[in-house]
């Protein structure tokens, strides 16, 4: 079934679940009628700006705020010592023994990255606040920074009381990996250094906090407004009932809005102190230097294969930079990358270690995929290297190693349970759609003619999280229904898709269902939009609440529907693992190194697809981000820890012209991992693209002797690879 196509009469006959309905969100958003945090200006609203560290690492000698305090219109200047009594920002202990490394909300005696907030100015207008922040002078004694993982490994400890810069280490072992590796017919390796990237949501960070009347109301564009509420209450010492969080329209998140930031705490603190609303809207540059980055992993892995090409051992070292302070989900990318191995393949013997290192950069945290793209990069590089070592076709070696559909559910050697999926079927369908044998013949022909051309396959999995979400449905006058979801959206289209579920289950036209979420005062509790979980878990909660409503309605006569309400808290019994196969054909211009993605054929299994249009949007947008990661995006710090990519002039984002046409197909399988039968799709593209593109590039470069490259594959990298022999010498 292609995504996005279902005839209108089928919708009428079968109901709205599965219909490619247009998003109800878009009319207001494309007209500029959206209401983002930056659009909100409550009465008596004051404005905030931050002074930030110009040092990558320094001891604070002095902070002079006197000029700022004297400026007309400045109401308050906050510095670190005034907030030093607040507890540290919480960190999700997904990895046992993680060392806490929160920085203070505003720097006290140390600054540990360029852009770290050192003072907050509140003024009558935003321009005055910014001028005053610029008049604040930080005198620091510079210290040598550790910018990346390699430096953090050997550098002096950045944090007092720690023997080194290792914040956590987690190891997964199963079987005797060393013996299996030693006994392998062939062993191969993969080394992939991934650049740090910026999330670059369209809307930079922003916050409106109203502290009037001793209560705190915060409009916070956060992926998890309920969690933000709990964290803000805890950090500011307020009862949770006194805090209301509202996620208004949010212009993208991609993992960078899952934490409460130090800036959020400082602005909320100021609003309470002043008893007035305060608004902070970050500049794009502030987002580049102080919002959380993604990726940055240094991935090294080894695989042993037997003579038939079957994987018999897998060893991996996955080292991730964490930046100068820990976001809530700081350990998640490393933890995910480790636990997701060996991806869709069978192997008994594994020895996998994931580590996180403190570094003198902005925090590095979850970013669309959060370890899933890294796991795919490792496995898919190893499969291609294995195929090369054994003289097998890359498709054939995958066929020999996939977990068969008949073996589902499958317990992996890292202790995960793959719930469902037909990996062989996804691979076969992608090869069929691409006419793979013809593709390989064409590649041979073009190679003979002197072209650099490669085919890359990525067979990936995408776990979509666990835990609960909730939903409440109430009847409205006129036969209408209000769905309040505990989840929260930043552009995913929940209002459209959740209405389809409720309408489909209750048996009413979709226009009669309205969806609200993101406001702790009107929505039931929830986790929010992270980890590809919205539809699988949030959608399941909506489904259960709708089933309860349908049952209630059936008990009543049709005129007696006023005031009915149902509410369900849904906890997924297990994690749903979606999967897909993405095949990329890439040509590299031999004179310039310019890559061209000539074809992308991509078959994805997301289980039940509620709205194929939204699903296609997720795949397409995710692919664009994955393409950026693979080909161009890189947060660059120099050796002194100064960021060189602090604006969109310096940081390369993919544009529409960089996107290839995508041939998409949905090949759903059934899962009982949740009530709806949906699996993740929000991160599929950011998982699918990097490994498929890297494999295609290295297939193109294989005749030139290059077999290992990191990301991004810039034109310069590709151009050099075309001119370098196996010994690393320029040709």
The answer to the question of residue 19 lying near ligand SMO (CB under 6 A) is no
C-beta closer to ligand SMO: residue 47 or 368: 368
SS (H, E, C) 211-258: CHHHCEEEECCCCCHHHHHHHHHHHHCCCHHHEEEECCCCCCCCCCCC
What's the CA gap between 6 and 16, in Å, rounded?
A: 11
DSSP line for 667-692: ------SSSS-B---TTHHHHHHHHH
Which region among 184-192, 364-372, 375-383, 450-458 touches ligand SMO (by CB under 6 A)?
Answer: 364-372
Count how many Cα atoms sit within 13 Å of the Cα of residue 461 in the half-sphere of its side chain: 29
C-beta closer to ligand SMO: residue 187 or 222: 222
Q: How far is the CB of 182 from ligand SMO (least distance, A)?
A: 37
C-beta closer to ligand SMO: residue 531 or 667: 531
Figure out which of the listed residues 366, 430, 501, 583 binds ligand SMO, where binding follows CB under 6 A: 366
What's the CA gap between 238 and 236, in Å, rounded?
A: 6
C-beta closer to ligand SMO: residue 223 or 566: 223
Figure out which of the listed residues 133, 152, 258, 709 binds ligand SMO, where binding follows CB under 6 A: 258
| Nearest C-alpha neighbor of 352 from the set 327, 378, 332 | 378
| Nearest C-alpha neighbor of 692 from the set 402, 472, 398, 451 | 398
Q: How far is the CB of 201 from ligand SMO (least distance, A)?
A: 11
Q: How far is the CB of 536 from ligand SMO (least distance, A)?
A: 13
What's the CA gap between 128 and 126, in Å, rounded?
A: 6
| Nearest C-alpha neighbor of 249 from the set 24, 506, 482 | 24
Give the total of residues touching ligand SMO (CB under 6 A): 9
| Nearest C-alpha neighbor of 459 from the set 587, 576, 605 | 605
What's the CA gap between 19 and 612, in Å, rounded?
A: 7
Residue ranges with strand state E in 27-147: 46-52, 58-64, 74-79, 110-111, 117-123, 137-142
The answer to the question of residue 484 lying near ligand SMO (CB under 6 A) is no
Q: How far is the CB of 632 from ligand SMO (least distance, A)?
A: 20
What's the CA gap between 318 and 335, in Å, rounded?
A: 9
Residue nearest to ligand SMO according to CB distances in the complex: 255
Q: How far is the CB of 530 from ligand SMO (least distance, A)?
A: 4
Q: How far is the CB of 532 from ligand SMO (least distance, A)?
A: 7
Give the CA diameter of the chain.
83
Figure out which of the listed residues 227, 368, 398, 634 binds ligand SMO, where binding follows CB under 6 A: 368
The answer to the question of residue 223 lying near ligand SMO (CB under 6 A) is yes
Which region among 133-141, 175-183, 362-370, 588-596 touches ligand SMO (by CB under 6 A)?
Answer: 362-370
What's the CA gap between 23 and 7, in Å, rounded?
A: 17
Residue 433 burial (10 A CB sphere; 0-12, 13-18, 19+): middle
Figure out which of the listed residues 367, 498, 602, 623 binds ligand SMO, where binding follows CB under 6 A: 367
What is the distance between the terminal CA atoms of the chain, rounded to a whole angstrom? 48
Q: How far is the CB of 249 from ligand SMO (least distance, A)?
A: 17
User: For residues 508-547, which are near ligand SMO according to CB under 6 A?
Assistant: 530-531
C-beta closer to ligand SMO: residue 328 or 436: 328
Q: How far is the CB of 257 from ligand SMO (least distance, A)?
A: 8
Q: How far is the CB of 646 from ligand SMO (least distance, A)?
A: 22
- Helix or strand or coil: residue 265? helix
Figure out which of the listed residues 370, 376, 541, 701 binds ligand SMO, where binding follows CB under 6 A: 370
Residues that bind ligand SMO (CB under 6 A): 223, 255, 258, 366-368, 370, 530-531
């Amino acid at each position: 079934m292609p995504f996005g196509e279902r005839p209108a009469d089928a919708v009428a006959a079968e109901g709205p679940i599965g219909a490619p309905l247009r998003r109800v969100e878009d009319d207001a958003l494309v007209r500029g009628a959206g209401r983002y945090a930056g659009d909100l200006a409550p009465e008596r609203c004051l404005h905030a700006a931050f002074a930030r560290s110009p040092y990558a690492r320094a001891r604070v000698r002095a902070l002079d705020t006197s000029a700022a305090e004297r400026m007309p219109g400045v109401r308050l200047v906050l510095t670190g010592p005034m907030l030093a009594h607040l507890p540290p920002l919480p960190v999700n202990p997904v990895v046992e023994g993680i060392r806490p490394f929160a920085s203070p909300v505003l720097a006290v005696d140390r600054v540990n990255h360029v852009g770290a907030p050192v003072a907050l100015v509140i003024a009558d207008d935003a321009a005055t606040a910014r001028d005053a922040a610029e008049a604040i002078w930080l005198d620091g004694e510079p210290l040598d920074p550790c910018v990346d993982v390699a430096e953090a490994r050997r550098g002096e400890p950045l944090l007092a009381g720690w023997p080194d810069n290792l914040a956590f280490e987690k190891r997964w072992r199963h079987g005797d990996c060393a013996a299996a590796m030693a006994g392998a017919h062939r062993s191969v390796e993969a080394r992939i250094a991934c650049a740090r990237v910026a999330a670059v949501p369209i809307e930079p960070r922003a916050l409106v906090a109203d502290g009037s009347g001793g209560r705190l109301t915060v409009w916070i564009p956060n992926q998890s407004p309920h969690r933000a509420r709990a964290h803000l209450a805890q950090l500011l010492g307020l009862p949770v009932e006194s805090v209301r969080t509202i996620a208004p329209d949010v212009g993208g998140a991609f993992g960078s809005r899952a934490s409460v930031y130090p800036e959020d705490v400082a602005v909320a603190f100021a609003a309470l102190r002043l008893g007035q609303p305060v608004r902070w809207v970050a500049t794009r540059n502030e987002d580049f230097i102080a919002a959380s980055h993604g990726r940055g992993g240094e991935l090294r892995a080894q695989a042993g294969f037997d003579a038939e090409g079957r994987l018999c051992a897998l060893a991996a070292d996955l080292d991730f930079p964490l930046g100068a302070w820990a976001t809530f989900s700081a350990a998640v990318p490393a933890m995910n990358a480790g636990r997701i191995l060996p991806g869709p393949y069978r192997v008994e013997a594994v020895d996998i270690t994931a580590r996180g290192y403190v570094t003198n950069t902005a925090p590095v945290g979850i970013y669309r995929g959060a370890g899933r793209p890294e796991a795919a990069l490792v496995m898919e590089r190893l499969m291609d290297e294995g195929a090369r070592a054994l003289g097998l076709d890359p498709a054939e070696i995958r066929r020999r190693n996939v977990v068969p559909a008949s073996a589902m559910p499958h317990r992996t050697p890292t202790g995960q349970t793959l719930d469902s999926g037909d990996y062989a079927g996804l691979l076969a369908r992608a090869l069929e759609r691409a006419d793979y044998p013809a593709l390989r013949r064409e590649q041979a022909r073009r190679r003979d003619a002197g072209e650099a051309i490669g085919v890359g396959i990525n067979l990936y999995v995408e776990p979509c999280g666990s835990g609960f979400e909730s939903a409440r449905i109430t009847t409205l006058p006129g036969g209408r229904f209000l769905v309040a979801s505990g989840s929260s959206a930043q552009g995913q289209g929940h209002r459209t898709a959740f209405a389809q579920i409720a309408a489909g289950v209750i048996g009413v036209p979709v226009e009669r269902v309205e969806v609200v979420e993101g406001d702790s005062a009107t929505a039931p509790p929830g986790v929010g939009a992270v980890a590809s979980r919205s539809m699988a878990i949030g959608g399941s909660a909506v489904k259960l609440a709708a089933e309860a409503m349908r049952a209630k309605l059936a008990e009543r006569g049709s005129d007696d529907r006023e005031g009915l309400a149902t509410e369900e808290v849904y906890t997924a019994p297990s994690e749903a693992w979606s999967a897909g196969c993405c095949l990329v054909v890439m040509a590299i211009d031999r004179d310039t190194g310019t890559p061209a993605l000539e074809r992308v054929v991509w078959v994805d299994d997301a289980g039940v697809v509620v709205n194929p249009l939204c699903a296609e949007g997720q795949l397409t947008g995710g692919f664009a981000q994955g393409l950026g990661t693979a080909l161009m995006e890189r947060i660059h710090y120099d050796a002194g820890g100064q960021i060189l990519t602090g604006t969109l002039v310096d940081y390369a984002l993919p544009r529409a012209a960089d996107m290839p046409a995508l041939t998409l197909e949905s090949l759903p399988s059934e899962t009982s991992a949740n009530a709806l039968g949906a699996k993740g799709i929000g991160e599929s593209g950011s998982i699918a693209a990097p490994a498929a593109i890297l494999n295609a590039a290295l297939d193109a470069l294989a005749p030139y002797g290059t077999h290992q490259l990191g990301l991004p594959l810039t034109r310069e990298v590709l151009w050099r690879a075309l001119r370098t022999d196996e010994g690393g010498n320029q040709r």
